[in-house]
Structure 1
Amino acid sequence: MSLRVALRHAFDGFGLDVAFTAGPGVTALFGRSGAGKTTVVNAVAGLLRPDHADIALGQTLFDSGTTHLPPNKRRIGYVFQDARLFPHLSVAENLDYAARFGARAKNRDQIVALLGLGDLLGRRPATLSGGQKQRVALGRALLSAPQLLLMDEPLAALDAPRKAEILPYLERLKAESAVPILYVSHALDEVARLADRIVVLDGGRIRADGPVFDVLADPELVPLFGVREAGAILPATVTERAADGLTRLTTSAGDVHLMGVHAAQGDTIRLRVLAQDVMLSRTRPDGLSALNILPVRISHIYKGDGPGVALRLMAGDDPLLARITARALAYLDLSEGDECFAILKASSVAPTAISGAQTAPV
């Protein structure tokens, strides 16, 4: 099942004009506040009637002038930034309310287990943490048997510990559920952990659309992502867990050693490597405290208006992103096509930037 969206809509002083397709897995709709993300998902959900649009999910949901399927007929689950649970109902009753519209009892048990809701069923929403409320809201959306799940900034209202609590559940949902997800966020750490594809919005227009591994490693998007948040995703396999707390991971460019990895041996995980944490050397350095040194090839250099330069690196089969100063680029005399070495400290990749770093309890 794929979602097809082509829409144009005008507000005072702002015009939205986008077209994209969201297939299986997680498609992230990324952009700064005001980029048009929520307008898109509200149009998909049927909560907003756009000026002109063609929206289809197996069938036409909206076609300007001919079709406007009501929200309750679209079979779309919607998880908002705030959980919007019924406060007078228990968790079980909130879930059962949605289950009346689609899920069978077996599916209910599976979803309760998937989201770790078993111990919460008798409680009222007022007694739950923010992360627990969002898990219940997610369960309620899934129990309506949706063909598509919309998630509009579901973690934006949570503090860092609650966000870290719920991310593993979202990873499990992605791995174990066949429901495609359109995930709206302005947080790159969430997108890097969850998304398969990303659509980048800027000022109501699409700046990039493609596999998340490729788009996040595009040096020309660094100004949009932010110089301190820009970074690429490096896939790796857990190879060995050492007694000193470091875990050896195998990438297509070689081994890296990191802290805070709790995934099982043999698991394939994602590492979000910030561009500002990657150092470059013309020759393989010796005598460094940094353990991770990968051979790379420079595939693209982007020079912005400031003192920084962004470089797309190929580390084996996978792209990395580095940001250095223009002065360092000139000093090293680096050009596109050159081979060099990327240096990464073991402590520079935070546990929250590692998918599978924490396992959601059942």
Structure 2
Amino acid sequence: MTEGLQLDLRQSSPIPLNAQISCAPGEVLALVGPSGSGKSTLLRSIAGLYRPHTGSIRCGGETWFDSARGIDKPTMHRRIGMVFQHFALFPHLSALHNVAEALRDYPEAERLERAQAWLERVHLHGLGERLPHRLSGGQQQRVAVARALAREPKVLLLDEPFSAVDRGTREALYGELTELREELRMPVLLVTHDLDEATLLADRMCILSAGTTLQADTTDRLLQAPASAEVARLLGMRNLFAGRLAGHSADHSLLAWGGQMLKVRAQPQLAVGQAVDWAMPTSGVLLMPLNERPGTALDNRVAVRIERLLPLGEQFRVSLSAGADRLYMNVPRHVAQRYGLAVGQAIDVRLRGETIHVMAVTAPG
């Protein structure tokens, strides 16, 4: 990681920070969390636009900030490329000259030649002389990306870069960013509120809350094993509940929930009687087979009532009441029709115990 980005920042005010981040060359790390969680503050700290009280920032083998050693390089001496939500282009300069502004270390003729090459790399051939107001939102964002990359940065910082464009344009930009990141071996930090966007673009996600890094891992591992109920909520996991460990056997544990016992993977690290949180993906809730075939050893049969059927293309999102709690599952449209699912209907579902993730309850603070 010596050539990537490493960050460790701490302060109690005015913006609380307790953040540790690492991002390897060629890796995209998405910073995910609610408004006020510190995502943009971390980007501004890396860029030298905000000075934290304590900690260090290292990138590309250089120390950009180290409070203990009195190092705080100004922005102009940090090789960063930054793309903002609203493009931040110079309105009076053409696309070509916007990109050329990032190349002031080169003679003018070479600046324009390099700027033109970057415009072509982001699929803007022939649009170099247009002013920003004569470009579409997607084209403006491509100019902003070209300008950021023209600096040959050691890190690329993307602050909600696609939120100001329509969905079709956004998806085209996703593809282009994916192409560019395969060519450019630099760490990329992406700030986004969109979990689907983070899942699509990022190698890993870092979950932030109140300036604190709660967990960083691949999307699959985060969804399979969130570190806490707070992480599960921030990941948008709908099936999140409280329970209690009721017992252990050789190959599974028992989880008391809503008056019933659920079989889950063995949890020897948890004491019997211990209060826990537990979560499972919607894919872990399945309809009982029509022919009543037995499932796996960790299947749990639960009686529920259908509260809502929400059509989403070829699927239904199904809301189920299970006593005082509410379960969610997704069902393909043709399966819902085959089973004759309807609001108010009482049915049995099975909860796949191998997908249930059990978490010890952590004390607040």
- Quickly name the TM-score band, shorter chain normalised: 0.5 to 0.7
1:194, CA displacement in angstroms?
A: 0.8
Which amino acid in structure 1 is aligned with residue 40 of structure 2? T
Separation in 1, partners of 2:47, 2:124? 26
**TM-score for both structures, normalised by structure 2:** 0.63
Q: SS of the counterpart of 1:165? A: helix
Which amino acid in structure 1 is aligned with residue 164 of structure 2? A
Separation in 1, partners of 2:94, 2:288? 62
Residues 114-263 of structure 1 correspond to what in structure 2 (within 5 A)?
A: 114-218=121-225, 220=229, 221-227=231-237
- Evaluate the alpha carbon distance shift between residue 281 and residue 116 of structure 1 in structure 2; reply closer, same or farther with a 3 A threshold: same
- Evaluate the alpha carbon distance shift between residue 296 and residue 87 of structure 1 in structure 2; reply closer, same or farther with a 3 A threshold: farther
1:184, CA displacement in angstroms?
A: 1.0
Which amino acid in structure 2 is aligned with residue 18 of structure 1? A
In structure 1, runs of 5+ residues without a counterpart are 231-273, 287-294, 311-327, 339-362
Contact 2:239 2:328 in 1 (8 A): no
Matched, 1:67 2:91: no
Residue 15 of structure 1 is matched in structure 2 by 16
Separation in 1, partners of 2:21, 2:178? 24
State which of 354, 357, 362 in structure 2 corresponds to 1:336. Answer: 354
1:187, CA displacement in angstroms?
A: 0.8
| Offset from partner CA, 1:229-254 (integer Å, 9 cap, x none) | 99xxxxxxxxxxxxxxxxxxxxxxxx
Matched, 1:42 2:44: yes
Which amino acid in structure 1 is aligned with residue 100 of structure 2? D
Separation in 2, partners of 1:54, 1:282? 54
Separation in 2, partners of 1:79, 1:31? 19
* RMSD (Å), alpha carbons: 3.6
**TM-score for both structures, normalised by structure 1:** 0.64
Contact 1:188 1:229 in 2 (8 A): no
1:308, CA displacement in angstroms?
A: 2.9
Q: SS of the counterpart of 2:91? A: coil
Matched, 1:308 2:330: no
Contact 2:224 2:355 in 1 (8 A): no
Residue 277 of structure 2 is matched in structure 1 by none
Q: SS of the counterpart of 2:354? A: coil
Contact 1:28 1:184 in 2 (8 A): yes
Please, which moves more after superposition, 108-117 or 3-12? 108-117
Separation in 2, partners of 1:55, 1:70? 13
Matched, 1:280 2:282: no
Aligned sequence identity (%) = 34
Matched, 1:81 2:100: no
1:205, CA displacement in angstroms?
A: 1.4
Separation in 1, partners of 2:202, 2:78? 23
Contact 1:7 1:17 in 2 (8 A): yes
Separation in 2, partners of 1:11, 1:45? 20
Larger Rg: 2
- Evaluate the alpha carbon distance shift between residue 169 and residue 334 of structure 1 in structure 2; reply closer, same or farther with a 3 A threshold: closer
Aligned residue pair count:
265
Separation in 2, partners of 1:87, 1:183? 25
Residues 317-336 of structure 1 correspond to what in structure 2 (within 5 A)?
A: 331-332=349-350, 334-336=352-354
Matched, 1:99 2:106: no
Separation in 2, partners of 1:36, 1:277? 31
1:9, CA displacement in angstroms?
A: 2.9
Separation in 2, partners of 1:84, 1:36? 21
Contact 2:84 2:159 in 1 (8 A): yes
Which amino acid in structure 1 is aligned with residue 194 of structure 2? A
Separation in 2, partners of 1:68, 1:114? 34
State which of 54, 60, 69 in structure 2 corresponds to 1:52. Answer: 54
Q: SS of the counterpart of 1:17? A: strand
Q: SS of the counterpart of 1:20? A: strand
1:140, CA displacement in angstroms?
A: 0.3
1:139, CA displacement in angstroms?
A: 0.2
- Evaluate the alpha carbon distance shift between residue 83 and residue 329 of structure 1 in structure 2; reply closer, same or farther with a 3 A threshold: farther
Contact 2:286 2:351 in 1 (8 A): no
Which amino acid in structure 2 is aligned with residue 224 of structure 1? L
| Offset from partner CA, 1:69-120 (integer Å, 9 cap, x none) | 1111011111111111111111111112212337978865553233111132
Which amino acid in structure 2 is aligned with residue 99 of structure 1? L
Separation in 2, partners of 1:229, 1:332? 14
- Evaluate the alpha carbon distance shift between residue 216 and residue 169 of structure 1 in structure 2; reply closer, same or farther with a 3 A threshold: farther
1:62, CA displacement in angstroms?
A: 0.5
In structure 2, runs of 5+ residues without a counterpart are 241-279, 300-321, 330-345, 357-365
Contact 1:131 1:158 in 2 (8 A): yes
Contact 2:81 2:157 in 1 (8 A): yes
